Structure 1
Amino acid sequence: MKRIVLAFSGGLDTSVALVWLRETYQCPVTAFIADVGQNEDLEAIGRRAEQLGADGVHILDLREEFARDYVFPMHRADARYEGQYLLGSPIARPLIAAAQIRVAEEVGADAVAHGCTGKGNCQARFELAYAALRPDIKIIVPWREWDLGGRTDLLAYADKRGIELDFSSGERPYSIDANLLHTCYEGEVLEDPAVAPPAGLRQRVRDIADTPEEPEILRIGFERGDPVTVNDDRLAPAELLYVLGEIGSRHGIGRLDMVENRINGIKTRTVSEAPAGTLLWHAHRAVQTLVLDPEVSALKEELAPRYARYVYNGLWFAPERQMLQAAIDFSQQDVTGEVTLELHRGNVQVLGRTSPNSRYDTSYATFEADNVFDQRDSSGWLRVNMVRFRLGRST
């Protein structure tokens, strides 16, 4: 290897990986740190990488790109994995991988590495993105090469090599992933799906008991399927996610505790918080109900789970996801309007929705007398649809 670029987070896994890569491959290792809105001191993480022997550190601010080119397209599809998970981690991985490839090209590296385990999902999300963007680059996965079997072994390795780890709580580390869209927690006591998350573990969204007594009214405006305004303030994509995240967090919105099916068939328990994503999901679906043709709406409902699986499985750059995106985006051409939500004690209620492109027509929808729909026409339509029930039946 001439040089390796490691996706570095500063946690236990990548701290050990950086030292291990240098010892094993005897070549320079560049640490790449992606800012996707995880609200950490990235300069301090960069200094940590240097202390561990990184030959160089590259910190890239990807927040705007993340919101505009990854989160928003996914939310146009209303994607939720297994009907629940808003895909906060999966949607960030292809962006991080793509930026890592850019850094590798800049520094002349011929290999990239990540700290994902050999039985998790994110290895696929990184490596399929690498392959789609730079199929010739070498991929190194320490977890699939070293003889360290688990987190206990990593802690022992870190202690032996003098790698300092800051566990301010005094406890062993959970696996925590955060970005503008969400925070998720795995490992330790959470590995028992019968055990409730420990008090104080979830920091992003308030406990219901700590939320305001009075509800809050929130308006979100959309253009062509993308959110553009919050309470009439026009915001850039990353700022909009941040503002929605703060509002949702204040009202206890967006917590999820689920057992999901990993790509490899292993079941895992994930505790997550996605306040901004939860608000967007409710608001987007509300405004699009006014606009979409009924058959387009039905087809989109069928495509959404498939789209979610593609994102979950690391297929963001795959042609099948791109083909679906084209269909989704076609459906969003007229999805412009505003939704009013009421937020209270963890709940989201849609109060109203408007759109200049609305197909909703009160002259048709009314229960009062009208002059646009002859109710007698339904008799012939129904008789035709009854034919298949009559055929083959004895009278």
Structure 2
Amino acid sequence: MTKKRVNKVVLAYSGGLDTSVILKWIKETYGCEVITVTADVGQGEDLSGIEAKALATGASKAYVLDLKEEFLTQYAFPVLRSGAVYERKYLLGTSFARPLIAKYQVEIAKREGADAVAHGCTGKGNDQVRFELTYKALAPELTVIAPWREWDLSGREALLEYAASRGIPVAQSKENIYSRDQNLWHLSHEGGELEDPWQAPSERVYQITASPQAAPDQPEEIVIGFEHGYPVSLNGERLPPVTLMERLNAIGGQHGIGRIDLVENRLVGMKSRGVYEQPGATILSVAHKELEHLTLDRETMHFKDQLALKYAELVYYGLWYTPLREALDAFVDVTQRTVTGEVRLMLYKGNCIPTGRRSPYSLYSMELATFGADAIYDQRDAEGFINLFGLPLKVAALLAKQRSTSS
């Protein structure tokens, strides 16, 4: 297949094995200028040398962007407020990081006069869709280069050999072959023995959470504060978003919170097995839902739960920049007007247990909920309610009895 001629490419560059090889491969294959974009979304790596590495590998310019706060406030926290969870477990950390990174790729491509963008996603994964749908939504005129769908390098071992032959330094080895993605919201693990869904993950897989067995024998109690569905404080101390997440990840990780082992349905049609560590995100998700139990009326909460499933699909499928996601956010904004207050949680050996919740917008009334006598709720009224609510059942039963008698 004849490759389309491009002059300048903006590459989403992590500095890891795949994108390091891709940078060199694009220059060799397309003979064009390559500009790299590295996004700091809290992956816990020292990025101080990544610009020099990119330039040494052949990039003409290397951008390193601190996107941690935007990642949380404009992507992670809106998903948290929506209640979106993909396939009952996954809190979508990688899914909404990709549209953010791709957005900045597009911005830099326009600024630098580039005519193409590139990513290091494989042809079997979800991330290729998330990157490329963002490109289509924000700059459909750009050519997309996806080396994993073009080259004849067949796997991680082949990439390691390619890197070694061209003097490209990489951290991976044939002994440490996991594919990982980390940000402030989670850390994911795939590959190696994890490809067998029956194989239990070894402790060497986990990087940021203690095993429940090794977690402290004493529980720790924390209080999370929210304003309009956004997390704002820990134990009464108001904190900026990044600091709050870093502390929750550290506390949750110490107690073994947020380990997830999931066989999920990828968008491209196959099932895959992933192991996730999401300690801080798990704490916030549990706390946020608990506060909603206190502050949302029944019909709103039940309907919001239905929409949360659709929201999770949109995010997982890479449909972030769509009218439907924006419309759902508008609905969520209304539901979160009263989601202000505090939730107390006990963390203990992998468990995140709510023990208290309070809000100035609480819909809970002790006077109504009490089993004792009260002046608002007359228990005798329940008989008429039950008669009306159960009328369809009564009518159906009477008609069935009538048919049975007549036959």
1:371 partnered with 2:362: no
Q: Which of 300, 314, 320 does residue 316 from structure 1 map onto?
A: 320
Q: 1:393 maps to which residue?
A: 400
1:99 partnered with 2:99: no
Aligned-partner Cα distance in 1 for 2:382–2:27: 75
The one-letter code matched in structure 1 to 2:190 is E
Alpha-carbon displacement from aligned partner over 1:255-300 (angstroms, at most 9, x marks no partner)? 1111101001111000110001100011001111111111001101
Q: Which of 178, 181, 185 does residue 177 from structure 1 map onto?
A: 181
Spell out the pairing of 1:42-61 with structure 2 (5 A cutoff): 42-61=47-66
Spell out the pairing of 1:161-172 with structure 2 (5 A cutoff): 161-167=166-172, 171-172=175-176
Q: Which of 152, 155, 163 does residue 158 from structure 1 map onto?
A: 163
Aligned-partner Cα distance in 1 for 2:167–2:233: 49
Spell out the pairing of 1:1-395 with structure 2 (5 A cutoff): 1-167=6-172, 171-389=175-393, 390-391=395-396, 392-395=399-402
Alpha-carbon displacement from aligned partner over 1:160-211 (angstroms, at most 9, x marks no partner)? 33323233x7614211100011101111211111112233221110122321
Aligned-partner Cα distance in 1 for 2:315–2:226: 23
Aligned-partner Cα distance in 1 for 2:246–2:113: 35
The one-letter code matched in structure 2 to 1:86 is L
What is the number of equivalent residue pairs in this alignment?
394
Could you say what secondary structure the match of 1:83 adopts? coil
TM-score under structure 1 normalisation? 0.97
Aligned-partner Cα distance in 1 for 2:210–2:280: 14
Aligned-partner Cα distance in 1 for 2:251–2:164: 41
Shift of 1:387: 2.1
Alpha-carbon displacement from aligned partner over 1:136-178 (angstroms, at most 9, x marks no partner)? 12111111111222223222322333323233x7614211100
The 1:46–1:198 alpha-carbon spacing in structure 2 relative to 1, beyond 3 Å, is farther
Alpha-carbon displacement from aligned partner over 1:96-116 (angstroms, at most 9, x marks no partner)? 111111221222211110000
The one-letter code matched in structure 1 to 2:370 is T
Shift of 1:36: 0.2
Could you say what secondary structure the match of 2:152 adopts? coil
Could you say what secondary structure the match of 2:137 adopts? helix
Could you say what secondary structure the match of 2:401 adopts? coil
Percent of matched pairs sharing the same residue = 49
Whether contact under 8 Å (1:68, 1:238) holds in the other structure is no
Whether contact under 8 Å (2:157, 2:174) holds in the other structure is no
Structure 1 gap segments, 5+ residues each: none
The one-letter code matched in structure 2 to 1:202 is Y
Aligned-partner Cα distance in 2 for 1:82–1:164: 38
Structure 2 gap segments, 5+ residues each: 1-5, 403-407
CA RMSD between the two structures:
1.3
The one-letter code matched in structure 2 to 1:225 is G
Shift of 1:321: 1.3
TM-score under structure 2 normalisation? 0.94
Whether contact under 8 Å (2:17, 2:171) holds in the other structure is no
